[in-house]
Amino acid sequence: MEEIFGFNDVIVRVTDDEIVVNKRRYTKEEYVAIAKDAAEIITRFGDKSELKAIWLDEKKRTQALEYLKSRDVFLSVVAKIMISESNWKEYDEYDVLRALIGERPLTRSERVRVFFEREQLEEIPEEEQREIKVVLEYYKEHGVKAFDIAKKIKPDLIEQLMMRFYE
């Protein structure tokens, strides 16, 4: 089976045997190894707290994703070949990076469920509870972009939410 991914100026073709990034060919094993090496560099050798710090800072996150792109690494491709052939679209880029540094990835729905199990939302005002629920529902479909959009409207609430969400 072949699947084509488009990333602005880059075309990635994934087949059963190889990954082709703008005519550069990799076996799946080579591609995953390159991705793991790049993730190790970004996170300073697999430091989970470093990954979280990068992910919470939109500028650092963008720089990390650009670095990955410079190494021909696209996290949706990694998710498809390394985590799940069938439901790879359900993984946030953060969790794909977690998988690359040896952590168990969660789907976006699992991450939301774990958050609600862990957090005591009853302690915050009802209006903020509703806002958090709306953002997290949007997150299930769109990933971290939900936070980036909501941060423009409620920066303090969303900053606090992201700190607790990406545990």
Look at the chain and report how many structural domains it folds into: 2
Q: In the prediction, which pLDDT does 85 show?
A: 84
Question: Between vectors from CA 36 to CA 30 and to CA 40, what angle results, nearest 5°?
Answer: 145
Q: Residues 6 or more apart from 110 whose CB is under 8 A from it? A: none
Same domain, 132 and 149: yes
- Structural domain contains residue 18: no
User: Can you give the pLDDT of all 167 residues of the chain as single tens digits?
Assistant: 799 999 989 999 999 999 999 999 999 999 999 999 999 999 988 899 999 999 999 999 999 999 999 999 999 999 999 998 889 999 999 999 999 999 999 999 999 999 999 998 988 999 999 999 999 999 999 999 999 999 999 999 999 999 999 98
Do 60 and 83 belong together in one domain? yes
Q: With respect to residue 2, please indicate whether it lies within any of the assigned structural domains.
A: no
Do 117 and 144 lie in one domain? The reply is: yes
Provide the b/e sequence for 2-13 (b: ≥16 CB within 10 Å).
Answer: eeeeeeeeeebb
pLDDT at position 161, please?
A: 96
Q: The pTM is what?
A: 0.91
Domain identity same for 116 and 158: yes
The range of the structural domain enclosing residue 80 comes to: 27-100
Helix (H, G, I), strand (E, B) or coil at 37: helix
Q: Is residue 61 part of a domain?
A: yes
Tell me, yes or no, whether 93 and 112 share the same domain: no
Quick one: 31 and 84 in the same domain? Answer: yes
Look at residues 100, 117, 134 and tell me which one is the last residue of a structural domain. 100
Distance between CA atoms of residues 19 and 16, nearest Å:
9
- Largest Cα separation within the chain, whole Å, is 54
Alpha-carbon span 145 to 127, nearest angstrom: 22
Same domain (yes/no): 76, 126 = no
Report which DSSP code applies to 19: E
- Give the closest residue to 54 by CA, choosing from 63, 45, 67: 63
HEC profile for 46-98? CCHHHHHHHHHCHHHHHHHHHHHHHCCCCHHHHHHHHHCCCCHHHECHHHHHH
Report yes or no on 119 lying in a domain.
yes
SS3 114: helix
